[in-house]
Amino acid sequence: MPILLGLVAFVGIILVALYRINSAIDSVRELDGKTQGLQRVARNAGLSIFGWRLQRVTDPRLAATILMLQLVRTGAPVTAAEKTRIMEIMETELHIGKVEAMFVRAWSYTEQNRVFSPIADELIPLLRDRLTTVERDDLIGMLTKVANAYTSPSELQLEAINRLKRRLLLPEPNFTVQAERPFGDEAG
């Protein structure tokens, strides 16, 4: 009989503990739901103070290297042919003295299987400000060479290069409209 009482007490303690744990989990979820707005504000405040990592890039040669690396990292791992082509371009066309150091630095800004376009979008303001139209066109050529380094470029790579080309080479859109008459005036 004492064994049966001990077993019932043990099961009771387990059930009470599970109930308390479940209540705590529900409370945490409720608190998390109520503070989503505050979490978003804190995250955005941090970004406005420190910025995205890529927005702190100020060297267009580093930006070009990041783009070349991310273009080939979007799909499969970087091949030896792609790495060699990127390093050749860095040395001959970008005139980078410490190629290996710049390569390692650019590598830290890229991610395996990350989509190319969001990274390019973050670097476009820098490239527009610091590169001439001819240099922008040269950058597109460099990206095409890198995409052709191992095999023919994939459809994804070609679309990413074309999208970047449109964004870099077309004039920046002007969203302001010149009003010919004051707002609210009746015509005629």
* pLDDT single digits (tens) 96-154: 999 999 999 999 988 888 888 888 999 999 999 999 999 999 999 999 999 988 888 88
The pLDDT value given to residue 177: 55
The verdict on 69 and 156 lying in the same domain is yes
Residues 85 and 123 in one domain: yes
Q: Is residue 47's pLDDT more than 60?
A: no
Range of the domain at 33: 2-45
Asked if the structure places residue 86 within a domain, the reply is yes
Looking up tokens 């023919």, which residue turns up? 152
How many CB atoms sit inside 10 A of residue 122's CB? 18
Do 99 and 119 fall within a single domain?
Answer: yes
| 66 assigned to some structural domain | yes
User: Greater confidence, 177 or 23?
Assistant: 23
**d(Cα 97, Cα 118) in Å, to the nearest integer?**
28
Alpha carbon distances (Å) from 128 to 62, 86, 139, 169: 14, 22, 12, 9
CA 84 – CA 97 distance, rounded (Å): 16
Buried b (16+ CB within 10 A) or exposed e, 145-177: ebbebbeebeeebeebbeebbebbeeeeeeeee
**Do the domain assignments include residue 111?**
yes
Q: Are residues 36 and 62 in the same domain?
A: no
Q: Is the backbone of residue 22 left (phi > 0), alpha (psi -120 to 50) or beta? A: alpha
User: Would the pLDDT of 50 be above 50?
Assistant: no
Same domain, 61 and 146: yes
Residue with tokens 């400000």: 129
Within 13 A of 184's CA, how many CA atoms are on the CB side?
Answer: 0
The answer to whether residue 140 sits within a structural domain is yes
Joined together, the tokens standing for residue 104 give 């390692």
pLDDT beyond 60 at 172: yes
Same domain (yes/no): 39, 108: no
| 30 lies in the same domain as 86 | no
Residue 127 belongs to some domain of the structure: yes
Q: Is pLDDT above 70 for 51?
A: no
Does 155 lie in the same domain as 69? yes
Residue 155 lies in a domain: yes
Quick check: helix, strand or coil at residue 109? coil
What is the number of domains present in the chain?
2
63 and 156 assigned to the same domain: yes
Please report whether residue 28 resides in a domain.
Answer: yes
Q: Do 159 and 74 have their domain in common?
A: yes
Percent of the chain whose predicted confidence (pLDDT) is above 90: 45
Task: Report the pLDDT value the prediction gives residue 169, as an integer from 0 to 100.
Answer: 84
Q: Are residues 32 and 110 in the same domain?
A: no
Q: In sequence order, which residues have a C-beta less than 8 Å from that of residue 84 and are 6 or more positions away?
A: 149
| Residue keyed to tokens 């990041």 | 66
Q: 28 and 113: one domain?
A: no
Residue 150 within a domain: yes
pTM (two decimals): 0.65
